[in-house]
Structure 1
Amino acid sequence: MARDIQITFDCGDPAKLAEFWADVLGYEVQAPPPGFSSWDEALEAMGVPPEHRNDASAVVDPDGTGPRLFFQRVPEGKQAKNRVHLDVRAAGGDDENRMSALETEAERLVSRGAERIGRHEPDPPLNAGHIVMTDPEGNEFCLD
């Protein structure tokens, strides 16, 4: 039996990172519970003090098919290279137009706080090429 999964990011600024990944993936920041117009209103009603209202955030696929991404505040910064990373399918095909589309997306994400690490050229027949990036907190991901 297949199981649903959630992908969790340890980070310093959950709200900011959630907004970044919502933009990258076409996701939405998870709506507050029913009966509340904002998360601040919901957290106030739950008794969460203001200094803890950015301890967590989440983004969801508006179509309900992709995994939920959860962002939780941790006190320490990123320590080492990720052993697991996301591959964001940002272009189809395997021709030079594909790499051009990846370059365009990489430039857009850099303007949103990502950092470009490197480009790996296509090496047919198995490697269609990709661009290595980091999110605003240094977590690696690939555009492919």
Structure 2
Amino acid sequence: MSQTVSVKKFQVTFDCARPERVARFWCEVLGYAVPRPPEGFATWDDFSASLPPEKRDAAFVCSDPTGEGPRMFFQRVPEGKVVKNRVHLCVRAGTGLVGDERLATLEAERDRLMKLGATQVRVMLADDENESCIVMRDIEGNEFCLD
């Protein structure tokens, strides 16, 4: 007889070139918050300045202030993004909406995110099986959907 394990919380990890920049972008997308700097430091800039140069901006975190969503961890890697993501986030901006109302809501969110540095890849209009969604890229080229 096997025991079933139920995972309640998980973390989403992004490999990126500039962790703090990407983390702050996703904070704006998701309404997440940056944690307080470590004890003894007034700001994250103060903390970063205390590190050796090679350790600065090596990692950054943001989290859902309600505690419901997953923690987001951003880690610096030496290589750039080369191919399409195997996993991506779907930002549920149009949940419960259909047709023109859904598309207008997604387009408004797209416009907000583009001001933050996101780019649009394509709009996928509703068909017989799926509602509309918009494929986007974050500020380092990682794909995500407005769904």
State if a TM-score over 0.5 links the two structures: yes
1:75 and 2:64 correspond: no
List runs of 5+ in structure 2 lacking aligned partners: 1-5
List runs of 5+ in structure 1 lacking aligned partners: none
Output the CA distance in 2 between the equivalents of 1:76 and 1:68. Answer: 23
Aligned to 2:142: 139
The residue correspondences of 1:107-126 to structure 2 (distance < 5 A) are 107-124=111-128, 126=129
Output the CA distance in 1 between the equivalents of 2:36 and 2:126. Answer: 40
For the residue of structure 2 that corresponds to 1:8, the secondary structure is strand
The residue correspondences of 1:21-36 to structure 2 (distance < 5 A) are 21-36=26-41
Instruction: State the identity as a percent.
Output: 50
Aligned to 1:104: 108
Counterpart of 1:120, as a letter, is M
Which piece of structure 1 moves more, 5-14 or 51-60? 51-60
Counterpart of 1:73, as a letter, is R
The alpha carbon displacement at 1:35 in A equals 4.6
Does the CA-based 8 Å contact 1:40-1:53 persist in structure 2?
no
Report the TM-score when normalising by structure 1. Answer: 0.89
The alpha carbon displacement at 1:40 in A equals 3.6
The alpha carbon displacement at 1:51 in A equals 4.3
Counterpart of 2:141, as a letter, is G
The alpha carbon displacement at 1:94 in A equals 1.1
Aligned to 1:58: 61
- Once the two structures are superposed, residues 7-46 of structure 1 have per-residue CA deviations (whole angstroms, 9 ceiling, x without a partner) of 00010111110111000000011222345322344456xx
- RMSD, aligned CA: 1.6
- Once the two structures are superposed, residues 66-114 of structure 1 have per-residue CA deviations (whole angstroms, 9 ceiling, x without a partner) of 1011111111100210011000011231121110110111111111111
Aligned to 2:52: 49
Aligned to 2:19: 14
Report the TM-score when normalising by structure 2. Answer: 0.88
Matched positions, count: 141
The alpha carbon displacement at 1:52 in A equals 2.1
The 1:114–1:43 alpha-carbon spacing in structure 2 relative to 1, beyond 3 Å, is closer
Output the CA distance in 2 between the equivalents of 1:77 and 1:68. Answer: 23
